Amino acid sequence: MGDGPAPLARCDSPPPTPPVGSGVVTDLPPLDPAADVLALTRALVDVPSVSGSEGALADAVEAALRALGGLEVERVGDAVLARTNLGRPTRIVLAGHLDTVPIADNVPSRLEDGRLYGCGTSDMKAGDAVMLRLAGRFGVPGAAPAHDLTFVFYDNEEVEAVRNGLGRVARERRGWLYGDLAILLEPTDGEIEAGCQGTLRAVLEVPGRRAHSARSWLGANAIHGAAGILATLAAYRAREVDIDGCVYREGLNAVRIEGGVAGNVIPDACTVTVNFRYAPDRDEDAAEAHVREVFADAVAAGATLAVVDNAGGALPGLSEPAAAAFVAAVGRPARAKLGWTDVARFAAFGIPAVNYGPGDPQLAHTREEHVLVDRLQPAEDALVAHLSGSTA
């Protein structure tokens, strides 16, 4: 392990002027951490930040954090890092991604019947807004949180793992991620979701022989040849695994199929992409071995199988004191995280991590994505109480 955060002098002086070329935003309304959490959520949603295009929003977040005056702030690409250095015996890391999936005619945001609609409202700009509120409360001179705090706003979470901004921070500024507990403000509908599933993608390619469709018997139809793979998937029975009282349900599904050359050609190739969501009691190697076992007959019949992405999950880790204290503070039992989140990165460093945010995970990535307004303030209040020590 590398060194953790080095202690610094108190940040009583005005924040440093951003260096020339830092890209601090000048053409967008400034983000105000003192604004209420709904207003902050709207402001964040109204700045488009599809994966790979987070720069403007990262600029705005960086400017807001620097202006607070009580935080050490650092920029790593389009990830913005900030932390207190008060000499507390414990440190809590709060993390959230700035990017969204592609916009579906749902920006700017729209407030209607107690719901805030817009791309990223649930996943996860509502959580980012809560983080900014916490930074505004605890990241000013004279603030006295019970723990030192680190805030990590990062890019490219919604795309392939190699581009993930938190991964870049882990490689280039690992010490910024160390703490006694990490809380990712991913959408959990105000519940604590512990650990996460692993996720594997594999591509099965079925060979065939091209021919004119009027003389189909002279060829071998690769799309028809994929029928066995699809039948295997349809018949697959997923495991349910109980770990520390959290039930993880696995799933193996086709998520893409490609084949065909033209309307009068028997296709000579067909590919089926499958996604395996696996419980965290399997590691990456065990997950790959399972997928290869499931499709052993298809491979024996001539298909090829290539694993193109594999990110391991994270065990709940609820027995760790810092995690147990947070669960107790929220006052409700934790449940399993059905999905992959960056808690896995923290778990790989031996840092207990949980997901806790105001968004609804079932609305993530949908055209009608929204967050219930009445979920916002309770999430902020619970975190304020815990971070200030009033729930200890």
Closest CA to 382 of 160, 159, 127, 53: 127
- How far apart CA 310 and CA 291 sit, in angstroms, is 11
What is the end-to-end Cα distance of the chain in Å, rounded?
Answer: 29
Handedness of CA 324, 196, 278, 233 (dihedral sign): positive
Q: What are phi and psi of 255, to 5 degrees?
A: -120, -5
Residue 74, CB half-sphere, CA atoms under 13 Å: how many? 15
98 token code pair: 């700035």
Closest CA to 347 of 184, 200, 186: 184
346 token code pair: 């923290």
Cβ-contact 99, 352 below 8 angstroms = no
List, in order, residues 6 or more apart from 27 with CB less than 8 Å away.
none
Residue 241, number of CB atoms within 10 A of its CB: 17
**Per-residue CA distances from 82 to 23, 150, 183, 322 (Å):** 17, 6, 15, 21
Handedness of CA 133, 135, 136, 137 (dihedral sign): positive
299 token code pair: 């491979």
- How far apart CA 190 and CA 213 sit, in angstroms, is 56
Find the angle CA(48)-CA(275)-CA(188) to the nearest 5 degrees: 50
The set of catalytic residues is 99, 157
Cβ-contact 10, 2 below 8 angstroms = no
- How far apart CA 229 and CA 250 sit, in angstroms, is 18
SS3 125: helix
